[in-house]
Amino acid sequence: MSLLHRSWVHWILGIALGGIFLYAAWGKIFDPRPLATIIWGYRILPAGPINLLAIYMPWLELLVGLCLVTGFKRRAASLWASGLLLMFIVALGINALRGVNVACGCFSASAEETHNAWFLVLRDLPMLAAALVMLLSPPRRGSLKAS
């Protein structure tokens, strides 16, 4: 059995990636206004959906994180995590190609904390890889159950 198909690998990846999503969601849930400013700073979306995205995205991050950590519907959570991470990487990549350093909004809702967008893309790629492993290489039968 391949290492990627072992349930303990999925358990470790779920705990690690889920913890990252939980940490990322925590600071943004209770006050989404700074996140809306950060999303506006990416200059990708029209004004209309920005507030909704700033309100609901942290709750989705929280739900995904909880599911990854607990193992409840882990593959579905991996799909959502992959989608969110891909969205983040594309948004960061667009600004990296523009040569714009951005306030990420990843773990802080401070618009003053700008970072090199290429660095942020590179930081998100291993998280996307972990989510894709859990999504595309489920544990084999006979190993411990993981959703």
Q: Kindly report the pTM of this predicted structure.
A: 0.85
Domain boundaries in the chain?
A: 3-134
pLDDT < 50 stretches in the chain: 143-147
Q: Please give the pLDDT value at position 140.
A: 73
pLDDT at residue 6, as a whole number:
83
Confidence at residue 147, expressed as pLDDT on a 0 to 100 scale = 46
Q: What is the pLDDT of residues 113-142, one digit of tens each?
A: 667 888 889 999 999 999 999 999 887 765
Q: What is the DSSP string of the chain?
A: --GGG-HHHHHHHHHHHHHHHHHHHHHHHS--HHHHHHHHHT--S-HHHHHHHHHHHHHHHHHHHHHHHH-TTHHHHHHHHHHHHHHHHHHHHHHHHHT--EE--SS---TT-EE-HHHHHHHHHHHHHHHHHHHHSPPPTTSPP--
Model pLDDT, residue 83? 97
